[in-house]
A and B are shown apart, each in its own frame.
Chain A
Amino acid sequence: MAVVRTQEVKKVYKMGEIELEALKGVNIEIEAGEYISIMGPSGSGKSTLFNMIGGLDKPTSGKVYIDDVDVAQLDAYELAWLRCRKIGYIFQSFNLIPVMTALENVTLPMVFAGLTSDEARDKGVVLLDKVGLGQRISHKPYELSGGQQQRVAVARAMANDPAIILADEPTGNLDLKTGTEIIDLLREMNKLSGVTIVTATHDHKMLDVSDRVVWISDGRIDRIIDREDLKIEVGTIDGKTE
């Protein structure tokens, strides 16, 4: 089953008199349980497509279906619900709420979803344990390293058992080793709970764990490569993306 489907998605930004076509008709289907990476240089429309998939932006024309729901048809309440229950977000700059502890950060989406404090707490502890931060649940973000903060963010993204996790450059602010750990953690979550993971990334480490890699250039899908074919092509990846 396709968890995300786009049909001829176009996005036009108006900058004064000039119209900028960021996406020029994108068709893509993302299967449930897939680990998919979107790659492309800045200005390619990668972020725009990524935001569409995450229900953060609406297309100018064309359709985006998340879990078979047409995102354009949703009102503000339904969109909030979709973001809360169906999608987990992970950001380049971690984006933990600075005044909340790790546990409070993880339980916030559960509170929005209507869980009681006790239920949320129990689930939050389990999730933080899963990402390896069982000992640090009452630390504030500034008391945690970048890698630990991103682990909290992964736990938070998993809070309401979403269908999709969207990760925007999740390793962009991390060193090589920590970045690899986060990638492995995402892969583990993907395998354990079957959550679909969509990342926008420049990080070539990400390619090794992705089921498919989508290259975007100039507002169109340049090519989609399955992992089996990826290994053989590794030599050319660098040439294509830089």
Chain B
Amino acid sequence: MAVGQPIVGAAPTEIAQQVNLPWSKAVEISINSVRIRFGRSLITASGIILAIAFLMSIWTTNALIAELKAANDPAINLQLQRKGIDVDADSEAAAQERSKNMWLVVLSLLVCLVGITNAMLMSVTERFREIGTMKCLGALDSFIIKLFLLESAFQGSAGTIIGVVVGFLLTLIINLVSYGMVIFTHLPGLELLKNAALAVAVGSLLSLFGGILPAYKAAKMEPVDAMRLEV
């Protein structure tokens, strides 16, 4: 399949050649699309920013408190107890607290997934003419899927990174107010980095999943939709 050969002079019945959309071009188009529709992208991304910030703040708090407990410093233990935190990590109350937090995180991520899907579906519906036009220009279903998934992934990863930073900084400030400068000497750097990387992975995957249904819907639009005048 010689893509890119000039077709001039080919016999009319030989429709063996295929149209293609190189990845580099697809990435360029979808990044532009996100950049230019920045306001709309920000709304889509804000869901994931909030959810990931929440996830990150839970993780940061957990890691920080675990580190403070591990220090076994009487002064810090006193402060922890004053905040109502059980110094004994194996107690039932601590386990309950952890599972409750996990539930909240999972729920917030689910809500975020629905939010992304919803926002992307809106965006697909709005852009029916653009999608129809692309199909008239020779785009395959797979091009449209590629473009929308990339767009969703870019929004998702940008949102996730912002969410991680925001979540971490906010938690740091809150704990700084609670425990003072001591948190900097007990900052679990490696653990936090691991958490951040995990949060980025979760957020990016989530937005990719959220984009699947809208991308499929977009790909199934007919080229003749380009001629429609109304939504």
Contact = CB atoms under 8 A, between A and B. Distances in A.
Interface of A: 47, 51, 56-57, 67-69, 74, 76-78, 80-85, 87, 89, 91-93, 95-100, 108-109, 111-117, 156, 161, 168
B227 A68 contact: no
Contacts of B224: 51, 56-57
Nearest to A70: B13
Given A56-B224, A83-B135, A99-B36, A112 B13 contact: no
Contact of A111 (B21, B129, B141): B21
B83 interface: no
Interface stretch (B1-9, B86-94, B161-169): B1-9
Contacts, number: 105
A99 B229 CA distance: 19
26 contacts: A77-B19, A77-B140, A78-B15, A80-B18, A81-B17, A81-B18, A81-B19, A81-B138, A82-B15, A84-B19, A84-B138, A87-B136, A89-B133, A97-B130, A98-B36, A99-B32, A99-B37, A108-B134, A109-B137, A111-B25, A112-B19, A113-B4, A114-B3, A114-B4, A116-B4, A161-B8
B33 A99 contact: yes
A111 B226 CA distance: 20
B20 interface: yes
A65 to B, nearest CB: 9
A74 B229 contact: no
Contacts of A81: 15, 17-19, 138
A51 B17 CA distance: 23
Given A99-B37, A111-B25, A114-B3, A74 B15 contact: yes
B55 to A, nearest CB: 32
The interface size bin for chain B is 35 or more
A45 B143 CA distance: 31
Contacts of A84: 19, 137-138
Given A68-B13, A108-B134, A116-B4, 19 more contacts: A47-B227, A56-B227, A69-B15, A77-B19, A80-B138, A82-B15, A84-B137, A91-B226, A93-B229, A95-B133, A95-B226, A97-B133, A99-B29, A111-B22, A112-B138, A114-B4, A114-B19, A114-B20, A156-B137
Contacts of A80: 18-19, 135, 138-140
Contacts of B84: none
Interface string B203-231: 00000000000000000001110110100
Of A47, A57, A111, A116, most B-chain CB atoms within 10 Å: A111
A115 B15 contact: no
B229 A89 contact: no
Interface of B: 3-5, 7-8, 12-13, 15, 17-22, 25, 29, 32-33, 36-37, 129-130, 132-141, 143, 222-224, 226-227, 229
B15 A112 contact: no
B138 A83 contact: yes
Contacts of B32: 99-100
Contacts of B136: 56, 83, 87, 89
Nearest to A55: B223
B130 A68 contact: no
A77 B139 CA distance: 9
Contacts of B25: 111, 117
Nearest to A114: B4
B221 to A, nearest CB: 12
